[in-house]
A and B are shown apart, each in its own frame.
Chain A
């Protein structure tokens, strides 16, 4: 059993080899910083190395978002990590606190990119505004004359760095495993699901709707790139249904109507062979919601079949049953943004006060208790004996 374990382990390491190189490089750079002190040049070189390696790793994955968003995210990420590293190696606690503020600002930026603007504001206000200020006040109160001895020395950086490196490397390799297979079918699927949800409620005005594209490429194109290497009877099936779906898609988005006769299979679990029927050409160039919806559903079906055929890279020996995948799709209406929600703040508020009201009340109580407690701990009393 032990031999088996090491076998698996070595295979796992080899699979995510380049990731581990990055992790080891990062750990070494961090260690150097600890031992040599805070040297900006070294720090900068280390950070650049880390960025380079992770960037190379990132490159394996397709860009699924607009380039600007990716670049901004990368910028904020670099800022956060660099500021975190610098925070660790500062001698003076005030500098550490200020670098922490930089980290908070960077993560605020990342929150914004993650469609959480309120969180960004809240983080800046609460963390950078309240918590770090409290830190600075305490630093002033508990200050020693000159640089304190205990700020100059670190306690065994090597074991700590190794442990944390192993820890981070493990998590990253899990992430790597999950997302290692560059597959645009999933991205396409996601986008299509969103589209389907958007088109489902009736009486939507889709006259102004634009065909959704990912990175400048249309969704069928992206999907086609994925099932090129699937062979056999299943490949034939997929190609046939894809052909039909493509036709529907182009017809719908070009304003023509699509026949409603084609059956739409609803779930992933039981794909049925579709009935192939060439769509009759329709009059006019007005986009029809129903035809759009139908085209979307067809393409969704194809995308699901492609994903099922390719298989998700197994990170678990027994993939969870199909019902588990349904859980992710269970959404409370309160916590889900609708297509006509203009602002995420509104949705967040609706989620908090709708779904998690008890939690909110408890959090308020906790805040009150904490405030009272903080005051009580340090209430002014007689000077302690020397």
Chain B
């Protein structure tokens, strides 16, 4: 039964995509959402059923043997352990809600069926990704989600900027995928060297079982392979230096941004690195790199988000920043291998909560866009809380959750991350480094609160004004759009509390043992059979707790001050620190640097090469074709139709023959 459910989860959306595609020529375009909704509902139900019933054992379900060549043996196998089921639980639910939302958002746009088909295909690929049992199937799904992201970012086919953004997303992802592939091959060869003569698949269990041996024999090579694999995660999860595609991906419709670029696809990298924990514990250098990259990205993105005027761009940079947080958490295991369980638990917890509140934020931004006639520049509208009351509530909930205000979800998950970072600063050899990273993490927490509420105040407070595209009166979203947001709101606000930290009473002389009032549900759940997570900790770091509360409240207050009480302050600050402002507003010129150093030389090379191809290579090939023609012309000249010339050649040949025969004979 569980295997069947495991297959249903990716198969149902895949089938729905096929059905929708086939329905287009049959004229069933308007009915496209319904197969998708049905399929996603099925997947959600299956995921939760699995979560409820089968949690102790890892479930494996094999379909067929995919590659069976020589020493390579890959079969299409699905796997469900607690990490997978955790990921599946929010992927399927958020996808379902966003699909329902899209019925309203995408109504009336051309390519309605195309959207739902691509969406459904995306969900199928994403679930396959988290259910993959080996590297190769995971990479297959990795590429598929990249493809669907490309299809959906470039959804608005009449906008060249959308097409460019789709290409950029795909190409930047490709750079990461190159690293991913190299890592796979490298790891495979290492495994082959350690376990010679056996037909190998690259499934996780085999690799994890032999990881220790590989690390003992080829530590440097294992480090290299893991770095390459991490490069793949960097590309997919938009970390520095491959983060440039995510803000541009906001060209796609808001549901796409919500689903793919907030909740699910970008978290694939985090999932992957979490999955690799049993290998990464043997390569602390890689984990350090992970942590540094994560922290740096988090701070960088937060700094950029300070000055963005496009609401969705703010949210996009916020996503990048939060993803950096997750990688920072995962990398803390490099300080001390015993921190691995805590690190993974913290990161997965943050992924879990982040999915809900970020999706909610994006959906509300979409609602704003819908009302404002596709205008999303915050400078062109203001004071929308009266015109869009519900959207206001939804956005506020998401903002509160993101900022990490106490009690609400973001607080708990961010706190878990800061906790593990703090632990990393205490133990191990890299205390100073992690001290720096901790400072970066705290600064990012402050900035997160600040820019989130900046966006909130700029959009919903202040003088009420509407852009001309909004029409006569901006109206609230219809029920089909509001309902998913309404469902998401309590989830976003309180899911951290429910699944989050344990509450334990410390030991007193009366009660010698620690009394656990509420266990850390998620950590316990993960600990059950996720490889790499051995134990669940009940850890509460009060210092970190207080610090994060203080920082978030400070951030909110500062935003209130700057954008509500004294709106002229930001401009003054910007003018006084003009270069800093310009740098932040122009995204630290990273795109321009890439263009100058990489894109332009490649374009010039591409413009030179056709000339080379035409003038040299084609001429060489043409000369080959010319040879028979010249030869023929020469030989054809003998045939002049003149009898006596033929007779002459006969006589000459005869004379030559005689000379040869007689001369040779004598």
Contacts and interface: CB of A to CB of B under 8 A. Distances in A.
A167 B662 contact: no
Nearest to A6: B663
Interface stretch (A170-178, A193-201, A231-239, A320-328): A170-178
A376 B658 CA distance: 40
A14 to B, nearest CB: 12
A313 to B, nearest CB: 10
B666 A159 contact: no
A159 B648 contact: yes
Contacts of A166: 655-656, 658-659
Interface in B411-444: none
Nearest to B660: A5
Given A159-B648, A164-B651, A171 B658 contact: yes
A159 B662 CA distance: 22
Interface string A155-184: 110011001101100110110010000000
B662 A160 contact: no
B644 interface: yes
B655 A170 contact: yes
A151 interface: no
A63 interface: no
A379 B648 CA distance: 34
Contacts of B645: 155
Contacts of A218: none
A171 B651 CA distance: 14
Nearest to A166: B655
A5 B663 contact: yes
A336 to B, nearest CB: 31
Contacts of B663: 5, 8-9, 12
B662 A173 contact: yes
Contact of B651 (A12, A155, A160): A160
A366 to B, nearest CB: 25
A177 B663 CA distance: 11
Interface in B628-666: 642, 644-645, 648, 651-652, 654-656, 658-660, 662-666
A371 interface: no
Nearest to B644: A155
A5 B664 contact: yes
B666 A12 contact: yes
A177 B666 contact: yes
A258 B177 CA distance: 119
A31 to B, nearest CB: 15
Interface in A66-107: none
Contacts of A159: 648, 652
A219 B514 CA distance: 149
> In this complex, which of B645, B651, B652, B666 has the most chain A Cβ atoms within 10 angstroms of its Cβ?
B666
B149 to A, nearest CB: 72
Contact of B666 (A8, A167, A171): A8
A213 B299 CA distance: 133
Contacts of B644: 155
> In this complex, which of B645, B648, B655, B656 has the most chain A Cβ atoms within 10 angstroms of its Cβ?
B655
A73 to B, nearest CB: 26
Contacts of A338: none
Contacts of B652: 159, 163
Interface residues of A, number: 21
B648 A160 contact: yes
B665 A167 contact: no
A167 B666 CA distance: 16
A173 B658 CA distance: 11
Contacts, number: 48
Given A167-B658, A170-B655, A170-B658, A317 B665 contact: yes
Interface string A338-369: 00000000000000000000000000000000
Nearest to A313: B666
Contacts of A160: 648, 651
A167 B664 contact: no
Nearest to A314: B666
Contacts of A12: 662-663, 666
Nearest to A8: B663
Given A160-B651, A164-B651, A167-B654, A174 B662 contact: yes
> In this complex, which of A164, A167, A177, A315 has the most chain B Cβ atoms within 10 angstroms of its Cβ?
A167
Contacts of A375: none
B666 to A, nearest CB: 5
A3 interface: no
Interface in A1-20: 5, 8-9, 12
Nearest to B653: A163
A219 to B, nearest CB: 31
A316 interface: yes
Contacts of A315: 665-666
Contacts of A163: 648, 651-652, 655
Contacts of B651: 160, 163-164, 167
Nearest to B642: A155
A156 B651 CA distance: 14
Nearest to B649: A163
A171 to B, nearest CB: 7
Nearest to A316: B665
A163 B648 CA distance: 8
Interface in A34-92: none
A368 to B, nearest CB: 29
B648 A170 contact: no
Nearest to B652: A163
A317 B645 CA distance: 36
A48 to B, nearest CB: 26
Contacts of B648: 156, 159-160, 163
A170 B662 contact: yes
Contacts of B662: 12, 170, 173-174
> In this complex, which of B648, B654, B659, B663 has the most chain A Cβ atoms within 10 angstroms of its Cβ?
B663
Nearest to B663: A9
A173 B652 CA distance: 17
Contacts of A8: 663-664, 666
A314 B665 CA distance: 10
A371 to B, nearest CB: 26
A314 B666 CA distance: 8
A5 B663 CA distance: 7
A12 B663 CA distance: 7
B124 to A, nearest CB: 74
B644 to A, nearest CB: 6
A200 B517 CA distance: 149
Interface string A265-294: 000000000000000000000000000000
A8 to B, nearest CB: 6
A174 B665 CA distance: 11
A170 B662 CA distance: 8
Interface in A212-267: none
A160 B660 CA distance: 19
B665 A170 contact: no
A9 B658 CA distance: 12
A155 B664 CA distance: 33
Interface in B155-177: none
B617 to A, nearest CB: 39
B453 to A, nearest CB: 97
Top 9 nearest A-B pairs (CB, nearest first) are: A167-B655, A166-B655, A9-B663, A170-B658, A163-B652, A163-B651, A12-B666, A163-B655, A12-B663
Interface of A: 5, 8-9, 12, 155-156, 159-160, 163-164, 166-167, 170-171, 173-174, 177, 314-317
Interface of B: 642, 644-645, 648, 651-652, 654-656, 658-660, 662-666
27 contacts: A5-B660, A5-B663, A5-B664, A8-B666, A9-B659, A9-B663, A12-B666, A155-B642, A156-B648, A159-B652, A160-B648, A163-B648, A163-B651, A163-B652, A163-B655, A164-B655, A166-B656, A166-B658, A166-B659, A167-B654, A167-B655, A167-B658, A170-B658, A174-B662, A177-B666, A315-B665, A315-B666
Given A12-B666, A164-B655, A170-B655, 7 more contacts: A9-B659, A163-B648, A164-B651, A166-B655, A171-B658, A177-B666, A315-B665
